[in-house]
A and B are shown apart, each in its own frame.
Chain A
Amino acid sequence: MHDNDHDHDDDHNHGYGHGHDDGHGHGSHLSEMDLRVRALESILVEKGYVDPKALDALIETYETKVGPHNGAGVVARAWSDPAYKERLLQDATAAIAELGFMGRQGEHMVAVENTDRVHNIVVCTLCSCYPWSVLGLPPVWYKSAPYRSRAVMDPRSVLADFGVTLPADKEIKVWDSTAEIRYLVLPERPAGTEGWSEERLACLVTRDSMIGTGLAQSPPPESPPPESPPEAA
């Protein structure tokens, strides 16, 4: 939906407006960075500072293991278990650790709850602070100047960029992650999901709904009710 309203009118391939510079035809620029980082890696390996296999392990962790599915599990648990939700809102670090998620960029967690009256949005205006342990690495837009500059000043216009419109009287709380506290938005549970399993609920929890730039998905209109297990004979 944003494909045509903004292209090539500014420093598209370089600037913080978009934040990444490849895939748009600047092959020479890309290879310059490719060569530079390769050279840097070989120097650091040669000097014995880094082990390339450790680099592989770091990359694999964030490409395949740690991601928004972690946070979706937390949200689905909170939707399903009121006692867990209470613990999450009281001490998110401990409650999230119950599901096995902890550590880097999730050392000090706070969960903020969306309700019919309050909507929460998380930003880091100063850099790119983001709850890695539950959401993985941040998307480019989260680290970009448009988001960082405007989320604190005009969050409704930012939501509009995501196609989200909230009631005009809904309270919006913006959380600027200026310290080592990391924020997870607990989105509103969609209607029509009564009796759903945690696993099924987790599929409705999008990454953006846990940042606050989106809402949890509604169940598809023709979604059949979950089958009850057959009676044992």
Chain B
Amino acid sequence: MNGAQDMGGMMGFGPVVPEKDEPVFHAAWEARAFALTLAMGAAGGWNIDQSRAARESLHPALYLAKSYYEIWIAGLEKLMAERGLATADEIAAGKAQHPPKPVARMLTPENVPATLRKGGPSQRPATAPQLFQVGQRVRARNMHPAGHTRLPRYVRGHVGSIAHVHGAHVFPDANAAGLGEAPQWLYTVRFAAPELWGEAADPTVSVSVDAWESYLEAA
């Protein structure tokens, strides 16, 4: 969706402000928010694409106003409420009001290292022939799906060239919608900055995105 998360090319946010000797977390609640999100992800109630979609579906004004881990908490609450795992009245009351729903598994401390080590690879066996080859010119489709997508607005309608082929990967647009993994070929597509931003753009700059096959058409 064309939400506030799709920030490439927006203006007016001011300078990037690096923080010297930045801690990993800036408050104890941030650390807990991070860990709760990972632990509930491991419980198996949703996939990473649904998790991203939940965060992106925040009202744009809220998305831009909230800090990073505030967005994570809002997304987590939404995912749990949708599945009845923890409901709005429970969150408001600060305690459980309803019996628990079954979850696939509970992450134990003993399983943390192995779970992190395994991660969540997204590559899958290809189920269709590869449509585009390295060097081929492609256009990012002019598409505006209402659901989750990973094709940023700033490349849509623009022509680039295939720089790498990564095999077939879980297709986020389908996976976020609960339609299964529906793997597609994944490509790195390189765009010249003037193609994206106009003739005044720096010609020494190129921008690459990783794009699933259905995001692209031959140009």
A17: chain B residues within 8 A (beta carbon): 13-14, 17
A139 to B106, CA, bound (A): 29
A178 & B209 in contact (Cβ 8 Å cutoff): yes
Shortest Cβ gap from A23 to chain B (Å) = 6
Given A40-B36, A54-B107, A152-B8, A47 and B100 contact (CB-CB distance below 8 Å) = yes
Instruction: Indicate with 1 or 0, residue by residue over B34-62, a CB within 8 angstroms of chain A CB atoms.
Output: 11101110010000000010011000000
A63 to B210, CA, bound (A): 30
Chain B residue at smallest Cβ distance from A119: B204
Q: List residues of A (177-233) whose CB comes within 8 Å of B's CBs.
A: 177-181, 208, 213
Shortest Cβ gap from B165 to chain A (Å) = 11
Total interface residues in chain A, CB < 8 Å: 96
Given A20-B68, A55-B35, A153 and B91 contact (CB-CB distance below 8 Å) = no
Question: Which among A56, A127, A173 is the interface contact of B5 at CB below 8 angstroms?
Answer: A127
Given A49-B103, A174-B208, A106 and B119 contact (CB-CB distance below 8 Å) = yes
B29 & A33 in contact (Cβ 8 Å cutoff): yes
A148 to B169, CA, bound (A): 24
A125: chain B residues within 8 A (beta carbon): 6-8, 152, 154
Q: List residues of A (58-110) whose CB comes within 8 Å of B's CBs.
A: 58-59, 61-63, 66-67, 102-108, 110
Secondary structure at chain B's binding surface: helix, strand, loop or mixed? Answer: mixed
B118: chain A residues within 8 A (beta carbon): 103-104
Question: Which among B8, B117, B193, B208 is the interface contact of A175 at CB below 8 angstroms?
Answer: B208
A128: chain B residues within 8 A (beta carbon): 68
A43 & B33 in contact (Cβ 8 Å cutoff): no
A102: chain B residues within 8 A (beta carbon): 117, 119
B22 & A140 in contact (Cβ 8 Å cutoff): yes
Size category of the binding interface on chain B? 35 or more
Q: List residues of A (14-31) whose CB comes within 8 Å of B's CBs.
A: 14-23, 30
Instruction: Indicate with 1 or 0, residue by residue over B66-108, a CB within 8 angstroms of chain A CB atoms.
Output: 1111100100110000000110001100111000110100111
A44 to B87, CA, bound (A): 11
A interface list, Cβ under 8 A from B: 2, 5-6, 10-11, 14-23, 30, 33-44, 46-51, 53-59, 61-63, 66-67, 102-108, 110, 125-128, 133, 136-137, 139-141, 143-150, 152-156, 158, 161-162, 168-181, 208, 213
B interface list, Cβ under 8 A from A: 5-11, 13-19, 22, 24-36, 38-40, 43, 52, 55-56, 63-70, 73, 76-77, 85-86, 90-91, 94-96, 100-101, 103, 106-109, 111-113, 115-123, 150-152, 154, 164, 166, 169-170, 172, 186, 188, 190, 193, 196-197, 201-202, 204-212
A-B contact pairs, 30 of them (CB 8 A): A5-B15, A14-B67, A17-B17, A18-B17, A21-B67, A33-B33, A37-B36, A39-B95, A40-B76, A44-B40, A54-B35, A54-B106, A57-B109, A59-B35, A62-B24, A103-B116, A104-B118, A126-B5, A127-B55, A136-B24, A139-B22, A140-B19, A141-B16, A146-B13, A146-B15, A149-B11, A161-B17, A176-B209, A179-B166, A181-B188
